[in-house]
Amino acid sequence: MAVARRNREPPVPAGAFEYAPAPEATDHVRLAGRYDLFIGGEFVAPHSRRRFVTVNPATEETIAEVAEADRTDVDRAVTAAAAAFRRWSALSPSSRARYVFRISRLIQERARELAVVETIDGGKPIKESRDVDVPLAAAHFFHYAGWADKLEWAFPNRRPRPLGVAGQVIPWNFPLLMLAWKIAPALATGNTVVLKPAETTPLTAMLFGDICRQAELPAGVVNVVTGPGTTGGHLVGHPGVSKVAFTGSTEVGKQIQRRLAGTGKRLTLELGGKAANIVFDDAPLDQAVEGIVNGIYFNQGHVCCAGSRLLVQESIMEPLLEKLKRRLGTLRVGDPLDKNTDVGAINSAQQLEKIAGLVESGVAEGAEMYQPECRLPERGYWFKPTVFTNVAQSHRIAREEIFGPVLAVLTFRTPDEAVEKANNTPYGLSAGVWTEKGSRILWMAQRMRAGVVWANTYNRFDPAAPFGGYKESGFGREGGLHGLLPYVELR
Ligand code: NDP
């Protein structure tokens, strides 16, 4: 089937160079018109007999029909994972490592296909899927393949044991990467998995099912059940699941935590954020501007650790803002499959509505809005890169996670004030500090309640570095040695 309709006229921001279209080839991608559930190593029709469609947010065209798993389907998947657990957990660690390694090699081999499908299904620019999502997903499997036979060194003098079936629910902003963050440590530690991808971005998880078959992973070690939030609810509530890992909204995370209280199931939650990206007056401004842009416009701002609150030292507010506005005028918004696109499509109509509503509230509450001139494609879901100044800490745009390309700019005078404002949020996932002084970076990092603090950079990820939050951003860490801990019992 044709996988994408090209937007004939990529929008060009006023004053920017005219770029010729640079479309990524899609003829190597073979998408089916319909996808089943991946259970016990097979693609099987859903018991529910129901299906939903997944749509290309850049064109609003239907890409494929996907199976909607009901309670019986989830039960089949958990039963398959439980049956596979006996053999998988008994396998020698070096054999498990070989399977995980094979998966990472296959992700690399199929990288172009995965990148295109991720972009078509989710709306993110191809240069991000190609250069960030897919390589990082492969790197996660490589990293955890390395740990599989070294668990006794990871936890000296303890005997790590797998937990059983992990029920994993992931969101739509980094579908393949979140899958990798969840599945790689679970498999390396000897657990089996039932994964529920987000409703708007199920396709790379379907391709991953095929990768598991290519890797000859024993049947049932990985299972994928697609469907809406209710499918996720069946999974987290299933008595055969020993461990739940969830990434998504704080609201749903809290619901899950309440539901699991007293069940003895292990839980990790990676939830929302409202990160402060803090620029001191001694920071190199041009680099800081690049970091600010990367912090909030990367992946259309659909990033839990996005630097959505910019805290600028008052004395440099004017020159920094001028540079930032000039830079925004050069961002290319449009066809996600064009290799020059910087800001792609908003993931869904629902998310676009949420962003627009919060932006309206910013204007109504008295903040000043700036958007560069740029033409948006007629079809699809789009939002211009947006900056708000004159923002008060009480404004909704300074408090709530917008999860879109919208930056709220606030000022501060002293480092103490910066720390106080940065921490003035129920979230605590990430932060950024821009200054030339190493001592100030360490001083700030010690005082900020954020799981990750980037210094003179932003949105940098590495499989060896743990990631996770404080407060309403959740608990538990993913990545690195720390990411093994949620999947083992230490005896
Ligand atoms: P959700 O938290 O609803 O979705 C995350 C995942 O959980 C999806 O797979 C979803 O399924 C599933 N889910 C929904 N309800 C339940 C439930 N009761 N039990 C188990 N699983 C469930 O996020 P939304 O997609 O609704 O996004 C809303 C807002 O959440 C965004 O605007 C953003 O602010 C925030 N968000 C934060 C993310 C982060 O990484 N921290 C990621 C995504 C969103 P389905 O997709 O089918 O609804």
List, for residues 160-188, the tens digit of each pLDDT value. Answer: 999 999 999 999 999 999 999 999 999 99
What is the CA(441)–ligand 1 centre distance, in A? Answer: 33
What is the CA(105)–ligand 1 centre distance, in A? Answer: 30
Under the phi-then-psi rule, with left for phi > 0, alpha for psi from -120 to 50, and beta for the rest, what region is 349?
A: alpha
With contact defined as beta carbons under 8 Å apart, do 337 and 23 qualify?
yes
Residues of the chain with pLDDT under 70: 1-17
What is the CA(333)–ligand 1 centre distance, in A? Answer: 25
**Given this model, what pLDDT does residue 16 score?**
55
Whether 270 is catalytic: yes
Query: What one-character DSSP code corresponds to residue 190?
Result: T
Which of 170, 252, 260 has most ligand 1 atoms within 8 Å of its beta carbon, as the pocket-test mutant?
252
Q: How many CB atoms lie within 10 A of CB 182?
A: 27
What is the CA(69)–ligand 1 centre distance, in A? Answer: 17
**Ligand 1 pocket, Cβ-based, cut-off 6 angstroms:** 169-173, 196, 198-199, 228-229, 232-233, 236, 247-249, 252, 255-256, 271-272, 304, 351, 354, 401, 403
Q: Can you read off the two tokens belonging to residue 28?
A: 């190597």
Q: What is the pTM of this model?
A: 0.95
**Given this model, what pLDDT does residue 4 score?**
42
**Given this model, what pLDDT does residue 18 score?**
78
**Given this model, what pLDDT does residue 406 score?**
98
Which of 249, 269, 399 has most ligand 1 atoms within 8 Å of its beta carbon, as the pocket-test mutant?
249
Which of 51, 71, 169 has most ligand 1 atoms within 8 Å of its beta carbon, as the pocket-test mutant?
169
Which atom belonging to ligand 1 lies closest to the Cα atom of 401?
Answer: 34
What is the CA(153)–ligand 1 centre distance, in A? Answer: 36
Determine which one of 118, 128, 270, 478 is catalytic: 270
Task: Show the beta-strand stretches assigned E in 160-242.
Answer: 160-162, 165-169, 192-196, 222-224
SS (H, E, C) 288-330: HHHHHHHHHHHHHHCCCCCCCEEEEEHHHHHHHHHHHHHHHCC
Under the phi-then-psi rule, with left for phi > 0, alpha for psi from -120 to 50, and beta for the rest, what region is 467?
A: beta
**Given this model, what pLDDT does residue 1 score?**
40
Residue with the smallest CA separation from ligand 1 atom 42 is: 248
Determine which one of 199, 212, 304, 305 is catalytic: 304
DSSP string over 203-218 = HHHHHHHHHHHHTTPP
The separation between CA 248 and the C-alpha centre of its own chain, rounded to angstroms, equals: 9
Burial of 8 (0-12, 13-18, 19+ CB in 10 A): exposed
What is the CA(341)–ligand 1 centre distance, in A? Answer: 26
Q: Can you read off the two tokens belonging to residue 232?
A: 């996720």
Q: What single letter denotes the amino acid at residue 74?
A: V
Residue with the smallest CA separation from ligand 1 atom 19 is: 233
**Given this model, what pLDDT does residue 13 score?**
52
Residue with the smallest CA separation from ligand 1 atom 22 is: 229
Whether 212 is catalytic: no
